[in-house]
A and B are shown apart, each in its own frame.
Chain A
């Protein structure tokens, strides 16, 4: 969708394996770009909101958000001082082969996290939950996480890095078929009341909603929906796409602007993902991703070229499949 740049520096003609050093070097670059450079789809949406917002307080905040995007790129400094919790999403082609296997891949990603925590710098946010011990490198127990998905008939691998804050904006509720869409709307409004007041989730935000599956699956899907789809992208199921549009409308007409000032600029987009649920249940997870959208994707080819991409393309038709194969 947007321009990509192709790095040839690791090129070696007869390579058929994605090498560990390629992964390490590109993952450092991914973290750096994610922390500093706002994705274009987000920037354009905030620009549009700033030009349409009529409340002066809300408009002022949107203008400063745009200033900040530019300052970050110009000064090569992180757009937000809370650089969140770095995490990775790996989509691995069925024909891809990775030097050293998955263990080497995970080591490279952990190493890149530690290296860029020092070089950018990222804030060392990750501490042990009890002792509060901090390794000062954002690496520890289950940190960073790596989530996996697979893609048939291709020999490349995508790595997406996301830096997302971790305190506000996430919610879960077990709804039932009797609650239906009205129950979902109510939950949506509740989460808006909870997180948009005083701007706790740093809106305008992308709201990801995972519906169905089990408790853990709907929460995971809500996060992927918030972090891994471009602003403006609609779900491939028309009924879900319509609901997305309805909720965008509801969210931006609830009275809230940025920081919880009155306004109509609260929701950059709503992304909904569905999973087959227990016949008696309708679990729902909601996740908000703030306007400091730190995400960047790299595609690794077997010849060790790397292509940096704006679109994570996480939700492929294969990933959303309903059939046996």
Chain B
């Protein structure tokens, strides 16, 4: 399913909220560009909603169904006037446990972040909610993503969570590229890639000794490795 023999990556532009037929047609490895509204959230947001049982002061259900695991580099030139020169995602696997409830309660169809989650999480909580996981590309492309942000539409929980963790509602135009890491069936691009890599990688260990002194906490076989 990885576009092996294909020479170019397919680039797809989507205006939020996304239509069902568009969701179904997205394939692993497609590069998606978004137009409309995206809201940010990370530890602070999930903590407020799930540990403190608070409801966000803005209705995130109606924003277009795309959430972004990140904290933007926000520049407040004068009170209430924000500028977002660059933005980089944060690793998403930390938020996996909140996904089942979060996706259905807030009508989320795109989760954007870094590195993805496991296909088990996708199958259990993404597929039933018709949600696609999009990963940022390269992870350090702050300048390109910053260019896709037209402006800040709204901000919530700024006082409670601080600039980095607040819910930022960003108006975006040609915001991307984001790569389809989990498709509508819950397949994971990374997992498929890893299977392919392991065929080449694991044999390299042949003949290399395990460390003379094993120490607590050290993994001595690449097969035991977690991520």
A residues engaging B (CB < 8 A)?
A: 55-57, 60-61, 64-65, 67-68, 71-72, 75, 77-83, 121, 123, 173-176, 178-179, 182-183, 185-187, 189-190, 192-194, 197-200, 202, 250, 253-256, 258-262, 290-292
Residues of B close to A255: CB separation below 8 A: 196-201
**Interface size grouping (class) on chain B:** 35 or more
In the assembled complex, the CB of B77 is this many whole angstroms from the nearest CB of chain A, namely: 10
Give the chain A neighbours of B31 by CB distance below 8 A. Answer: 60
CB distance from A202 to the nearest CB of B (A): 5
**A55 partner residues in chain B, CB cutoff 8 A:** 4
Report chain B residues within 8 Å CB of A123: 73, 164
Q: List 7 A-B residue pairs with CB atoms under 8 Å apart, sorted by A's residue number.
A: A60-B177, A77-B85, A80-B140, A179-B212, A186-B209, A259-B138, A291-B138
Nearest 3 Cβ contacts at the A-B interface? A81-B142, A255-B200, A81-B88
Of residues 59 to 83 in B, which have CB atoms within 8 Å of A's CB atoms? 70, 72-73, 75
Q: How long is the Cα–Cα vector from A262 to B3 in the complex, in angstroms?
A: 11
CB–CB B207/A182 < 8 A? yes
B46-54, B101-109, B153-161, B214-222: which lies at the interface: B214-222
Of all chain A residues, which has the CB nearest B142? A81
B residues contacting A by CB (< 8 A) are 2-4, 6-9, 29, 31, 70, 72-73, 75, 85-88, 91, 115-116, 135, 137-147, 164, 177, 179, 189-190, 193-194, 196-201, 204-205, 207-213, 215, 218-219, 222, 225, 227
Q: Let me know if B194 and A64 touch, CB within 8 A.
A: no
Once bound together, how far apart are the Cα atoms of A236 and B204, in whole Å?
Answer: 28
Q: Is the CB of B146 within 8 A of A77?
A: yes
A71 in contact with B116 (CB, 8 Å): no
Report chain B residues within 8 Å CB of A254. Answer: 197, 200-201, 204
